C-alpha cells in the first residue's frame, strides 16, 4: 500500500517502482525510523494533537514492531521505503489509529531525522573502535620504546628513530580522527522534525520535546534547510575518508615491512593468507585490503558531493541516493577498524632487523653535523664537512660507526673520541628528548598523554 495513492488511477510501472523504491537499502534505518516515530507520537499526544490514548496505542504497537524486526519475526519487505513499511505495518496492527502517526510530519523531515540518528549511532560505535585501536597502538608502542627503527624521507633512510615513535605517529592521526568525528557529531545532532515537507507544519508541535526525547541538542532553525541539508553526511564521509586514508598509510607500511627485503614484521597466521600455486607464500592480504578499502570510502565521499552539487531547495528525490554511500562508508570503516585492531594485537616485530636497518644508510650523519655545530661550527659548514665524510665512507665502504677517531680528525680537528658515541644509533635516539621526539622517556610521556586523553 502506497502512502500517496489517492490522486492516482493507475499503478506505478513495475520497473519504475523497483527504480523508485529505497527499501532494499533504507531498511537498514528501521531502528532509527521507529525510534523517531515513537518520539513523534509521544509529542503528538502530549501536545493534544492526537489523544493520549491514541498516542499510547501507537507507541505500544511501534515497540512491538521494533521487537519483532529484531527477533526476526517480522521481515522488512513489500514497501516503497522504510517509512512506508513501518506505517503500513502499524495500520495492519492497530487499524485507523495508526493512520494518525503521520500527523504534522512529512517523509522529508522524517528521513532527514532518521539519517541523523543513524549517523549518530554509527559515530558512537566508530569512536569506540578508534579508541580501541589507539589503545592497542599505545600498548604495542609501550614495549618498543627502545626498538631502533629507521625513519625515512623519500623512502630513503633518514635518521634513526624507534618503533614506538613510529606507531605513535599513527596514534596521533587516529586521535585527530576521533576529534573530527566528535565535532561532526555535535553539528549533526539537531533535529529536522517539524520542518514538514519544506515550510514547516501548521500543527502546534513541541519540537523541543521531540528533540529531547531523541537525544538531540536542539532543532534545525529553518525548515527549508532542515529537509534539504546533507552537509552533516558529507562531513561524516569526509571524516570516514580521512580515517581510512590513515589506515591505508599504516597498512602500506606493514605490507612492505612484511616483505623479505625489509623483514621488519612477521604476519600473524590469523591475519594473512596463502597462494593457490606458490606453497611458500604468506601474503599480507588483510593489509592490502585495508589499503584498498580506502578507495571505496573516498569514492563514497565524492559520490555524495557530486549528488548534492547544484541541487535547488528544498527536498529533491536525488537525495534518496545519499544513503548507500553513507551506509557503505560506515560499514566499511567499522569493519576496517575491527580487523586492523585485531591484526595489530598479533603482528610480530623483528627488533634485530629493525635495529640493523636503523644504523644503515649513514643515518647518523646528522648527528655528526650536530656534533660539530654544538662545538661552534656554523651548521652549514658542519653539514659540508659531514657531507665529505660520508663521501669518504661511501668510497672506502665503511659506516660512520666504523671510522676511527683519527679518520674523523682528518675532516676537522674538532672531532674527538666522543664522536663515536655521537654517531651511535641508541644515543642518537636518546638525545631527542624535545617534546615530540623519539627518546624513550619522551615517547613514554607521549603515550601517557594519549592514554589520558582516551580516558
Ligand atoms: N525514500 C525517500 C528518501 O530516502 C524518503 C523521502 C521521500 N520523500 C518524497 N517526497 N518522496 O529520500
CA 111 to centroid of ligand 1, rounded, Å = 7
Question: What is residue 5's predicted lDDT score, i.e. its pLDDT?
Answer: 85
Position 300 confidence tier, pLDDT thresholds 50, 70, 90: very high
Lowest mean pLDDT of 47-56, 93-102, 272-281, name the range: 272-281
Other C-beta atoms within 10 Å of 252: how many?
15
Mean pLDDT (the chain) is 97
- Whether 383 is catalytic: no
Stretch 128-142: mean pLDDT: 98
Report whether pLDDT(400) > 80.
yes
Please compute the mean of the pLDDT values over residues 17-24 and round it to a whole number. 97
pLDDT tens for each residue of 185-215: 999 999 999 999 999 999 999 999 999 999 9
pLDDT digits (tens, 9 = 90+) for 349-397: 999 999 999 999 999 999 999 999 999 999 999 999 999 999 999 999 9
The residue whose C-alpha atom lies closest to atom 3 belonging to ligand 1 is 320
80 pocket-lining for ligand 1 (C-beta < 6 Å)? no
Percent of the chain with pLDDT over 70: 100
CA 136 to chain centre: 16
Q: Which of the residues 5, 275, 396, 404 is marked catalytic?
A: 275
Q: Calculate mean pLDDT across residues 401-417.
A: 97
- pLDDT confidence of residue 3: 85
Ligand 1 contacts CB of residue 319 (under 6 A): yes
Each residue of 25-34: pLDDT tens digit?
A: 999 999 999 9
For ligand 1, say whether the CB of 111 is within 6 Å of any of its atoms: yes
Predicted pLDDT of residue 101: 98
Judge if the beta carbon of residue 316 lies within 6 A of ligand 1. no
* Mean local confidence (pLDDT), 280-305: 97
The candidate with the shortest Cα–Cα distance to 443, out of 173, 453, 353, 434, is 434
Name the band, by pLDDT with cuts 50, 70 and 90, for residue 1: confident
pLDDT value for 281: 87
154 is catalytic: yes
Q: What percent of the chain has pLDDT over 90?
A: 96
Q: How far is the CA of 243 from the centre of ligand 1 (A)?
A: 30
- Which residues have C-beta within 8 Å of that of residue 283, sequence separation ≥ 6? 272, 273, 274, 275
The predicted pLDDT at position 153 comes to 96
Three-state SS across the chain? CCCCHHHCCCCCCHHHHHHHCCHHHHHHHHHHHHHHHHHHHHHHHHCCCCCHHHHHHHHHHHHHHHHHHHCCCCCCCCCCCHHHHHHHHHHHHHHHHHHHCCCCCCHHHHHHHHHHHHHHHHHHHHHHHHHHHHHHHHHHHHCCCCCEEEEEECCEEEEEEEHHHHHHHHHHHHHHHHHHHHHHHHHHCEECCCCCCCCCCCCCCCHHHHHHHCCCCEECCCHHHHHHCCHHHHHHHHHHHHHHHHHHHHHHHHHHHHCCCCCCEECCHHHCECCCCCCCCCECHHHHHHHHHHHHHHHHHHHHHHHHCCCCCCCCHHHHHHHHHHHHHHHHHHHHHHHHHHHHHHCEECHHHHHHHHHCCCCCHHHHHHHHHHCCCCHHHHHHHHHHHHHHHHHHCCCCCCCCHHHHHCCCCCCCCCHHHHCCHHHHHHCCCCCCCCCHHHHHHHHHHHHHHHC
Structure confidence at residue 119 (pLDDT):
98
Q: What integer is the mean pLDDT of 107-113?
A: 98
Query: For residue 328, is pLDDT > 90?
Result: yes
* Grid coordinates of 111: 528521513
Q: Does pLDDT of 2 surpass 90? A: no
Amino acid at each position: 500500500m502506497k502512502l500517496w495513492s489517492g490522486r492516482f488511477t493507475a499503478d506505478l510501472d513495475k520497473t519504475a517502482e523497483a527504480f523508485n523504491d529505497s527499501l532494499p537499502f533504507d531498511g537498514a534505518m528501521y531502528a532509527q525510523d521507529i525510534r523517531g516515530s515513537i518520539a513523534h507520537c509521544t509529542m503528538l499526544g502530549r501536545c493534544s494533537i492526537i489523544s493520549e490514548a491514541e498516542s499510547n496505542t501507537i507507541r505500544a504497537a511501534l515497540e512491538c514492531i521494533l521487537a519483532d524486526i529484531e527477533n526476526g519475526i517480522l521481515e522488512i519487505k513489500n514497501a516503497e521505503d522504510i517509512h512506508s513499511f513501518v506505517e503500513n505495518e502499524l495500520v495492519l496492527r492497530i487499524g485507523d489509529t495508526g493512520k494518525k502517526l503521520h500527523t504534522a510530519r512529512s517523509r522529508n523531515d522524517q528521513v532527514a531525522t532518521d539519517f541523523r540518528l543513524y549517523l549518530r549511532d554509527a559515530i558512537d560505535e566508530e569512536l569506540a573502535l578508534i579508541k580501541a585501536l589507539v589503545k592497542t597502538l599505545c600498548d604495542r608502542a609501550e614495549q618498543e620504546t627502545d626498538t631502533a627503527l629507521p625513519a625515512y624521507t623519500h623512502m630513503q633512510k633518514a635518521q634513526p628513530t624507534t618503533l614506538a615513535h613510529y606507531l605513535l605517529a599513527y596514534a596521533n592521526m587516529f586521535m585527530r580522527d576521533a576529534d573530527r568525528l566528535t565535532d561532526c557529531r555535535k553539528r549533526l545532532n539537531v533535529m529536522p522534525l517539524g520542518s514538514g515537507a519544506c515550510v514547516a507544519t501548521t500543527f502546534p508541535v513541541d519540537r523541543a520535546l521531540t528533540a529531547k526525547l531523541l537525544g538531540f541538542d536542539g532543532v534545525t532553525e529553518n525548515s527549508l534547510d532542515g529537509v534539504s541539508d546533507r552537509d552533516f553526511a558529507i562531513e561524516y564521509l569526509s571524516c570516514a575518508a580521512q580515517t581510512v586514508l590513515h589506515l591505508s598509510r599504516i597498512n602500506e607500511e606493514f605490507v612492505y615491512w612484511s616483505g623479505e627485503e625489509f623483514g621488519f614484521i612477521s604476519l600473524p597466521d590469523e591475519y594473512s593468507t596463502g597462494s593457490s600455486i606458490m606453497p611458500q607464500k604468506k601474503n599480507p592480504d588483510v593489509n592490502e585490503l585495508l589499503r584498498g578499502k580506502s578507495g571505496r570510502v573516498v569514492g563514497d565521499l565524492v559520490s555524495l558531493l557530486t549528488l548534492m552539487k547544484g541541487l535547488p531547495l528544498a527536498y529533491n528525490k536525488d537525495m534518496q541516493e545519499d544513503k548507500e554511500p553513507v551506509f557503505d562508508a560506515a560499514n566499511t570503516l567499522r569493519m576496517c577498524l575491527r580487523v586492523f585492531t585485531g591484526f595489530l594485537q598479533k603482528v610480530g616485530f623483528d627488533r634485530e632487523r629493525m635495529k640493523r636497518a636503523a644504523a644503515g644508510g649513514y643515518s647518523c650523519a646528522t648527528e655528526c653535523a650536530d656534533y660539530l655545530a654544538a662545538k661552534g661550527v656554523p651548521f652549514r659548514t658542519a653539514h659540508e664537512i659531514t657531507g665529505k665524510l660520508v663521501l669518504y665512507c661511501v668510497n672506502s665502504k665503511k659506516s660512520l660507526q666504523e671510522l676511527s677517531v683519527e679518520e674523523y680528525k682528518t675532516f676537522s680537528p674538532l672531532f674527538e673520541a666522543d664522536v663515536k658515541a655521537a654517531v651511535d644509533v641508541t644515543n642518537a635516539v636518546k638525545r631527542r628528548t624535545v617534546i615530540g621526539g623519539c627518546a624513550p622517556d619522551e615517547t613514554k610521556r607521549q603515550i601517557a598523554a594519549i592514554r589520558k586523553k582516551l580516558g
